[in-house]
């Protein structure tokens, strides 16, 4: 049995790391990289630092509009699947690479396995929401990270194809946290032990509207301490085009970090401001208070448990919202205990045996 994992963007490389380990000990596993992310610090660094095997196929699709990018992937993935005859295709999360791979496979009658299925923001303006809804419905097996994701899948008539496995990001996070213990990120040294906020922004809703971007930056400047803003290439490009300075009093920018360095920074930081789904969850798992610069989130458990809050419509209130977070100590583990990859691999292989 050969299973092909298709990845293309940063968070998918992180999720691939434990899945590649779990699957390659039990079946033939190969990796296709669509090339959606291509800068070395958006791609290669994850393969190097997380010990992920080099992709067997690299499609080099690069950046383009949603339709053009997804279409290029679809065309090339179909050829790879035709040549490789996989027994199943495993797709991750909610990017354009996820949708293209699910669509290419389902049309070829290849079983589709979706890791991180069932998340919903119920915001139809988000490209990820289109991608995840369509991918879940094209999938033969929906591997859900949380009880809430299972509930969402059941509401859409997908209960019989769904299984709760936990969140594979927790596996990676706990492993890397233990590995980096006692080491310091060079970027954190800049703050000389003083409290700082770690920030990331990459969602089009935040980066592509100059007035909103300026409001968010002012909201960050109003925080008590300095902010380290890890700037996604999209953020840098959009800010430059709009004549908006990212580096300004109270804000220091740096390029996106590799995963171990991100976790070092998160451990060193006092608080987090982000529009990333992954970072909201990582902040919760390491108990760092987080303000999410969106109007909705798929990871509502982080809010219910008192460690995350939404400031989507009120970027000026980032500081006030951070100050008001309850930060209630909790032993709850809504994202699993770090053993999800083994459970997901088992669920995938047994569903294929039953088919």
Residues that bind ligand UD1 (CB under 6 A): 9-11, 36-39, 42, 63, 94-96, 127-128, 202, 233-234, 237
* Cβ nearer to ligand UD1, comparing 63 with 330: 63
Closest CA to 11 of 205, 200, 138, 229: 200
Cα-only R_g, the chain? 20
Least separation in angstroms between CB 223 and ligand UD1: 24
Least separation in angstroms between CB 42 and ligand UD1: 4
202 is a catalytic site residue: yes
Q: What is the DSSP string of 93-159?
A: TTSHHHHHHHHHHHHTT--EEEETTT-----TTSHHHHHHHHHHHH-SEEEESSHHHHHHHHHTT-G
Q: What is the DSSP string of 148-215?
A: HHHHHHHHTT-GGGEEE---HHHHHHHHHHHHHTT---HHHHTTTT---EEEEE--HHHHS-HHHHHH
* Cβ nearer to ligand UD1, comparing 276 with 319: 276
Q: How far apart are CA 282 and CA 23, in angstroms?
A: 24
* Cβ nearer to ligand UD1, comparing 26 with 130: 130
**The one catalytic residue among 29, 37, 57, 202:** 202
What is the signed CA dihedral for 193, 199, 200, 205, rounded to 10 degrees? -170
- Which run of H or of E encompasses 237? helix 233-242
* Cβ nearer to ligand UD1, comparing 154 with 205: 205
Residues listed for the chain: 355
* Cβ nearer to ligand UD1, comparing 104 with 223: 104
What is the signed CA dihedral for 307, 49, 10, 330, rounded to 10 degrees? -10
Q: How far apart are CA 23 and CA 344, in angstroms?
A: 9
Least separation in angstroms between CB 128 and ligand UD1: 4
Report the catalytic residues. Answer: 202
């Amino acid at each position: 049995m050969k299973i092909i994992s298709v990845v293309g963007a940063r968070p998918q490389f992180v999720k691939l790391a434990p899945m590649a380990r779990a699957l390659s000990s039990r079946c033939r596993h190969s990796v296709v990289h669509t090339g959606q992310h291509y800068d070395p610090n958006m791609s290669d660094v994850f393969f190097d630092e997380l010990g992920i095997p080099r992709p067997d196929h690299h499609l080099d699709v690069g950046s383009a509009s949603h339709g053009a990018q997804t279409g290029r992937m679809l065309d090339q993935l179909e050829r790879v699947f035709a040549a490789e005859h996989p027994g199943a295709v495993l797709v991750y999360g909610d990017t354009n690479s996820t949708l293209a791979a699910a669509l290419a496979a389902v049309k070829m009658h290849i079983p589709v396995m979706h890791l991180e299925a069932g998340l919903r923001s119920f915001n139809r303006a988000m490209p990820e929401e289109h991608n995840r809804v369509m991918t879940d419905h094209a999938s033969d097996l929906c591997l859900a990270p949380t009880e809430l994701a299972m509930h969402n899948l059941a509401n859409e008539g997908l209960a019989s194809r769904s299984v709760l496995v936990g969140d594979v990001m927790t596996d990676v996070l706990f492993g890397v946290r233990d590995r980096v213990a006692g080491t310091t990120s060079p970027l954190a040294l800049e703050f000389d032990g003083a409290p700082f906020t770690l920030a990331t922004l990459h969602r089009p809703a935040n980066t592509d509207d100059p007035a909103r971007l300026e409001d968010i930056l002012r909201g960050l400047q109003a925080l008590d301490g300095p902010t380290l803003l890890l700037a996604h290439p999209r953020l840098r490009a959009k800010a430059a085009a709009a004549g908006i300075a990212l580096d300004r009093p109270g804000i220091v920018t740096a390029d996106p970090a590799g995963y171990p360095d991100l976790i070092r920074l998160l451990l060193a930081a006092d608080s987090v401001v982000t529009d990333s789904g992954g970072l909201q969850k990582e902040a919760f798992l390491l108990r760092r208070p987080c303000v999410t610069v969106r109007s909705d989130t798929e990871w509502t458990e982080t809010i219910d448990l008192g460690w995350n809050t939404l400031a989507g419509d009120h970027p000026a209130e980032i500081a006030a919202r951070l100050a008001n977070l309850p930060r209630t100590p909790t032993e709850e583990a809504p994202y699993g205990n770090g053993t999800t990859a083994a459970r997901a691999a088992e669920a995938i292989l047994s569903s294929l045996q039953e088919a």
